[in-house]
Chain A
Amino acid sequence: METLSYVLQQLINGLQLGAVYALIALGYTMVYGVLRLINFAHGDIFMFGAFTAYYLIAKWDVPIYLVFPITMAVTGTLGFLIEKIAYKPLRSAPKIALLITAVGVSLFLEYFLSLNSLFTPNYIGFPRPFEVTGYELPLFTVTNVQIIIFAVTALSLVLLYLLIYHTKHGRAMRALSHDQEVASLMGIPVDGIISFTFIVGAALAGLGGILYGFAYPQINVFMGIMPGIKSFIAAVLGGIGIIHGAVLGGLIIGVSEVFVSAFLSSTMRDGVIFFILFLVLLLKPSGIFGKWIDKV
């Protein structure tokens, strides 16, 4: 069954990409849930993760099991700083000012890293600290990279669920996303929880960056733009503000992208993503898992 094998292969490839998108989408959805803010700089945090990992592996020979936590700590800190410095002062300003600021932060990160004195605006090869090997199964091949991505993503999701649904912090986050005013009246430290949300989201994005580097080992300071937008669309698709929505959305977008590339044309790849977006917005803007809004 040649075609079935091809389809399954593309499915696996799509899920690989989708897993990365899911990790990024989680950050968007969590921040939106808590602050109703679309963090335009989030894609660049993903990029920063990839670059941090590059630096650790290529320049400092850090063993792989340390690269993950260090990178996530770095991007988590970056997320924290961005929120404290750029977003917090504008919390009572009109949303548009926040948006422009987010765009400003995004551009700043991109161009700052592109300075020749730091990195370069060109593509850099990402050093995989291992050889890629494929495991041939009856119908398709799975690479060790893919296994790593699926395993790491699954593990992160389990940990995230435990965090959101079984810890005080997670409960506080959920409370905040329902009603900020009441949550603060109930004694929840709003600022602290918002920071916490940013840190977690940013750490996940950083993780996505590492995995992306493993899978597609060409990194570039502008690499966060398109995945950022697509992950955001994934979050909307699944239901913005809803955790499992981000995951499902990411997987759907990843698979769709790979399928379109494989079966239609690679130049149409991005166009289809937006077609999906329009369908969602026109039919059910609150997304797959969202409530039906009685929009009047």
Chain B
Amino acid sequence: MKALEASGLKKSFGGVQAVDDLTFSVEEHETLGIIGPNGAGKTTLFNLITAIYKPDAGSVTLFGESLRGVPAHRLSHLGIARTFQNLRLFNSLTALQNLTAPILAMKGYGLNAAIFKGHRYVSIERSAEEKARTILDFFQLSAKANLAPNNLPYGDQRKLEIARALCTGPRLLLIDEPGAGMNPKEIRDLLKILRQVKEHFRLTIVLIEHQMGLVMNLSDRVLAMDFGEKIAEGTPAEIKKDKRVIEAYLGDESITC
């Protein structure tokens, strides 16, 4: 079954067509990479899928269910999670709390339990913390559980961002430029982590990324965008050789990557 289907998606901002008649799909458990020059509309696409923007036209379907009219905060309950291009971690909270918050948003307790601190409160808080610590462990961030995110090194913050997304127990994970601003060593670590995430969590992943090494190594298929349109779709090998992709990135056929 198709995890995600987008059909005829369109979105413009004051005259600029950010996404133009985009149609594609992602199979369950597949990893789809999305590449394209800056301004191609990739993040806008994520924002459309996660109901941050309303599409001017077109539709999005998740595991067969239409997402039309679904408010943004319900999406995590339907199984979508995402990371943000410009890290949006909760800096007033500790790293651990950045993880317990989404967990408690998925399954929590009511006002009564919160005020009177009975058994229900204790057990749900405890299990939330356990789950959060497990995920922190997976990303090797346990030692930093009580630090504020903005006190962590950049690479760790990016890992935390991904960790947080996994806390909602998603079936579809949208990752937006996880490798942005990283040096080659950090990229290698990230590649390792993402491979482990793929293996361990068995998710469907859609990954926006500029670092070709990451995209080509992780993706089963790749979608290339430019000016809001799909310009090519296929396996990493096919995309590497696609003329339109090369032109969009490099503007010149004669240089190969």
List residues of chain A with CB within 8 A of the CB of B13: 294
Cα separation A253 to B129 with both chains bound (whole Å): 55
Cα separation A2 to B72 with both chains bound (whole Å): 59
Chain A residue, CB-CB nearest to B47:
A296
Cα separation A296 to B53 with both chains bound (whole Å): 7
B52 at the interface (CB under 8 A from A): yes
List residues of chain B with CB within 8 A of the CB of A294: 13, 53
CB 8 Å contact bits of B13-55 with A (1 = contact, 0 = none): 1000000000000000000000000000000000000001100
Cα separation A294 to B53 with both chains bound (whole Å): 9
Within 8 A of B (CB), among A261-296: 294, 296
CB 8 Å contact bits of B49-65 with A (1 = contact, 0 = none): 00011000000000000
- Chain A nearest CB from B10 CB (Å) reads 15
**Interface residues of B, count at CB 8 A:** 4
Cα separation A132 to B133 with both chains bound (whole Å): 79
List residues of chain B with CB within 8 A of the CB of A296: 52-53, 72
Cα separation A289 to B13 with both chains bound (whole Å): 19
Cα separation A296 to B73 with both chains bound (whole Å): 12
Chain B residue, CB-CB nearest to A296:
B52
Cα separation A296 to B47 with both chains bound (whole Å): 11
- Chain A nearest CB from B12 CB (Å) reads 11
- Chain B nearest CB from A291 CB (Å) reads 9
Chain A residue, CB-CB nearest to B72:
A296
List residues of chain A with CB within 8 A of the CB of B72: 296
- Chain A nearest CB from B13 CB (Å) reads 8
CB 8 Å contact bits of A45-77 with B (1 = contact, 0 = none): 000000000000000000000000000000000
Cα separation A161 to B13 with both chains bound (whole Å): 30
Chain A residue, CB-CB nearest to B54:
A296
- Chain B nearest CB from A178 CB (Å) reads 14
- Chain B nearest CB from A243 CB (Å) reads 22
Cα separation A294 to B14 with both chains bound (whole Å): 11
Cα separation A294 to B72 with both chains bound (whole Å): 15
Cα separation A294 to B18 with both chains bound (whole Å): 15
Cα separation A294 to B47 with both chains bound (whole Å): 14
- Chain B nearest CB from A286 CB (Å) reads 14
Cα separation A188 to B15 with both chains bound (whole Å): 29
- Chain A nearest CB from B257 CB (Å) reads 32
List residues of chain A with CB within 8 A of the CB of B52: 296
Cα separation A294 to B11 with both chains bound (whole Å): 13
Within 8 A of A (CB), among B60-86: 72
Chain A residue, CB-CB nearest to B51:
A296
Cα separation A294 to B54 with both chains bound (whole Å): 10
- Chain A nearest CB from B77 CB (Å) reads 19
List residues of chain A with CB within 8 A of the CB of B53: 294, 296
CB 8 Å contact bits of A220-252 with B (1 = contact, 0 = none): 000000000000000000000000000000000
Chain A residue, CB-CB nearest to B53:
A296
Cα separation A130 to B158 with both chains bound (whole Å): 72
Chain A residue, CB-CB nearest to B52:
A296
- Chain A nearest CB from B46 CB (Å) reads 14
Cα separation A24 to B13 with both chains bound (whole Å): 35
Chain B residue, CB-CB nearest to A292:
B14
- Chain B nearest CB from A290 CB (Å) reads 14
CB 8 Å contact bits of A84-112 with B (1 = contact, 0 = none): 00000000000000000000000000000
Cα separation A294 to B13 with both chains bound (whole Å): 10
- Chain A nearest CB from B99 CB (Å) reads 25
Cα separation A294 to B52 with both chains bound (whole Å): 11
Cα separation A129 to B52 with both chains bound (whole Å): 61
- Chain A nearest CB from B45 CB (Å) reads 16
Chain B residue, CB-CB nearest to A291:
B14
Chain A residue, CB-CB nearest to B13:
A294
Cα separation A296 to B54 with both chains bound (whole Å): 9
- Chain A nearest CB from B69 CB (Å) reads 14
- Chain B nearest CB from A222 CB (Å) reads 38
Instruction: Identify 5 residue pairs between A and B in the complex whose beta-carbon atoms are under 8 Å apart, listed by A's number.
Output: A294-B13, A294-B53, A296-B52, A296-B53, A296-B72
Residues of chain B touching chain A, judged by Cβ–Cβ distance below 8 Å, are: 13, 52-53, 72
Give 5 closest A-B pairs by Cβ, nearest first. A296-B52, A296-B53, A294-B53, A296-B72, A294-B13
